[in-house]
Structure formats: C-alpha cells, structure tokens
Amino acid sequence: MKIAIVCYPTFGGSGVVATELGLELARRGHEIHFITYRQPVRLALLNENLHYHEVNVPEYPLFHYQPYELALSSKLVDMVKLYKIEVLHVHYAIPHAYAGYMAKQMLKNEGIYIPMITTLHGTDITLVGNHPFYKPAVTFSINKSDYVTSVSQSLKDDTLKLFKIKNKIKVIPNFIEIEKNYKDTESPCQRVVMAKDNERIITHISNFRKVKRIPDIIKIFYTIQKEIPAKLMMVGDGPEKEVAEQMCLDLGIHDKVIFFGNSNEIDKILCLTDLFLLPSETESFGLAALEAMALGVPVISSNSGGLPEVNFNGYSGYLSDVGNVDEMAQNAISILKDDATLKQFKANALEVAKKFDIKNILPKYEALYEKAINDY
Ligand code: GMT
C-alpha cells in the first residue's frame, strides 16, 4: 500500500508513534511518505519504501501567523498526485485532520478520491482541542475523517464526552518493538558512570509541560532518597525544567538529580533505570511508561486517563490519585527496598509491555488501511 503519514516531527509521543509505525510498515514492504515540516527525530534512514517530503511555509511579513495548514494541504495534494498515494493517515487532530480534509476536497475536485484516517493522541482532545477557540474545527475535522482511531479506551471515552462525534472511534493502542529494545541494549549499560553500586536509579522522561506535574516528581524523589540511596535522571526539555532545577537546589538534592535535556538515547538511559516516574495530570496512554516497561522498568504513575490500561497496579508498578505524592513515594520505596522485590516488578513490567509488542498492534493498522482503500 502507498500511505502518507502526517505527524509532528518532534520529541512528542504522537510523532514517535507515527514514525515507528511508518518505519515498520516500510519494513513490511509498504511505501511510506512522511509529510511534515522537519524530518521526524527517529527517522534516520530513507530508502525506496521510506520517503520524506518537507512542508515549507514561506515567511511573509504581512502574516502575523504563517499559514501552515495551507502549505500542508497543498503539499498533500501534490504528493498524492505525484506518488499515487492511496491513503492519508494523520496523527494528532490539530491541525492535521483539518489540513487533510482540505486536501481531500481539493483532490476530489480533480476526480481523485482518497480516504483519511485520523489518530487521536491525547492533548489534541483533552487540552488543546477542547479549547473553545478550536473546538468547532476539531469536531468538524474528526467527523469528516473516514476512520478515527484513538490510542486508548480512555481517550475514546473522553472524545465522546467532550465532542459531538458521529464517527465510530476504533481503539488501537500504542506499541513498542520489544525485540529492537533488546538489540539496541546489547552493549552493557553504563550504570557505573551514573550511580554508585548501592544507589537506585529513578528516571522521568517527558516534554516538561505542566500536564506532567514535574514538581511532583521532585517531591516524590525527595522522600525516596531520604530512605534509600538514589539518583534521579530527568530527561527532556520544556517549560517546567527550570522550576524543577530550582526545587532541587532549594531542597539540597541537586547533586542527586541529573538533567539531561532531550536525548536520542532513551533506550540506553532506560536500560540502567530501576524505576520510572510518571505522575501526570492526565495521560491518554503514557508511551514513555511503556518504553520504560519494555526495558523491564516498573512504573509509579498517576491513575488518570489511559495509564491504568498500560501500568497494572501492584504488578508492573503502582498507580495513585493525581497529586498523591506521599503514596507514590511510599509505593516507590516498597519496590526499591530490596533486590528480590525489584527483580519481580522488573519482570512483571516487561511481561505487560509484551502485550503491546508492535507485532500484535501493527496488523490492526494494516487491516484498517486495507479496509479504507477497498471501501472507498
Ligand atoms: O505527552 C505529551 O504531551 C505529548 C503528546 C503528543 O501528542 O506527542 O503525547 C500524547 O500522545 C502520546 C502518544 O500517543 C501518549 O502516549 C501521551 O499519553 C499523550 N499525552 C497526553 O495525553 C498528555
């Protein structure tokens, strides 16, 4: 099949899912065309099955806001015609579903019919899309998509609660390539350079936005390190990073917390990690938690959104109410306190992650593309 994938090329979860999906589809022989404003971060090599088309938005001083949707929809029209693309798959509703719909209309005008699948990822529904300034356009473009998928049951429920959606929404959970994780971590973990032998390593990875409740992470770690020797690795960048750095200074734990910034070596960081923290306000899925679990790292998370669909309470980690940092810290200590308990949680985390192996999830997307192309 010839498939166009539209996504954000940045470090966000939706871009990672879209890129990994495209890479695996290309490996399976499909012709994949990424259409976005920059080459996605995990898309290193291109080949005859893997194409990247950059969307350029010319700067014009008259415009206070440069019209990205216009450039994207024009690029989609051109690429569909040039490569005879059979299906559009847009990740993150805003503004991709909107631009995709416009492209479909322009193509229809020329007698070319192409189905569009929209995958909802989370903040496009729960935070940004729900804003009254965007809501009519988001509702319209979801309803005008030929197929809609969401990455968790929780996100599907939220979408139906927050928007007047006439379309069916199919849940296709996010995925992870378990075998790749093992391959990439064959070189021994450099644990020794990060922490002493008796120290546990705790990690958080995100875009450091308010929704991640970054101060909670510092508070949880502060309690843990009073009981158990530990280091905290903070990976990623965003508006709350400075707040976290200041908190570490104020609490006198700055020598135990390492801020990495954005990293392309997530697997290497996770392979030396003992525990992952994700106390988010909301999380439609929590891909970062799944990436940790796939490397045998248990997770302490909030119980909001789709997190209970990924992290199993008392098994792959623990879940607590949003903001209950005391309980989160005590649960973390209960996992980290002895080697046998930690080993058991690590094994459980990996076992749960295997449910989300790309081998089980990818055929669901392939079946949807086939249906979309054949039914259209
Ligand atoms: O977590 C973010 O803020 C980034 C955002 C994105 O779209 O890149 O992540 C959302 O999509 C991910 C991939 O489907 C999900 O794993 C995240 O849970 C979701 N984030 C939120 O719902 C806050």
Question: What is the pTM for the complete model shown?
Answer: 0.93
- Using the atom order of ligand 1, give the atom closest to the CA of residue 151: 14
> What's the CA-to-centroid distance between 328 and ligand 1, angstroms?
21
Beta partners for residue 150, in sequence order: 120, 171
Residue 84 makes CB contacts below 8 A (sequence gap 6+) with 2
Q: Which CATH number fits domain 2-175+357-375: 3.40.50.80, 3.40.50.2000, 3.40.605.10, 1.10.3720.10?
A: 3.40.50.2000
Q: Which CATH superfamily is domain 178-354 in?
A: Glycogen Phosphorylase B; (3.40.50.2000)
- Using the atom order of ligand 1, give the atom closest to the CA of residue 91: 7
Averaged pLDDT score across all residues of the chain: 94
Rounded to an integer, the average pLDDT of 352-358 is 97
Q: State the span(s) of the chain assigned CATH 3.40.50.2000.
A: 2-175+357-375, 178-354
> What's the CA-to-centroid distance between 151 and ligand 1, angstroms?
9
pLDDT band at 214 (very low <50, low <70, confident <90, very high): very high
Chain position carrying tokens 């989609």: 76
Rounded to an integer, the average pLDDT of 290-304 is 97
**Ligand 1 pocket, mutate which of 151, 206, 284 (most atoms under 8 A from CB):** 284
Number of continuous H segments (helices) and E segments (strands) in the chain:
16, 13
pLDDT at residue 148, rounded to an integer: 98
- Using the atom order of ligand 1, give the atom closest to the CA of residue 15: 8
At 284-294, the pLDDT tens digits run 999 999 999 99
For ligand 1, atom 23, the nearest C-alpha belongs to 283
pLDDT at residue 144, rounded to an integer: 96
> What's the CA-to-centroid distance between 250 and ligand 1, angstroms?
30
**Ligand 1 pocket, mutate which of 20, 41, 92, 123 (most atoms under 8 A from CB):** 123
Q: If we measure between CA atoms, which residue out of 254, 270, 272, 248 comes closest to residue 199?
A: 272
Q: What value of ipTM does the predicted structure carry?
A: 0.95
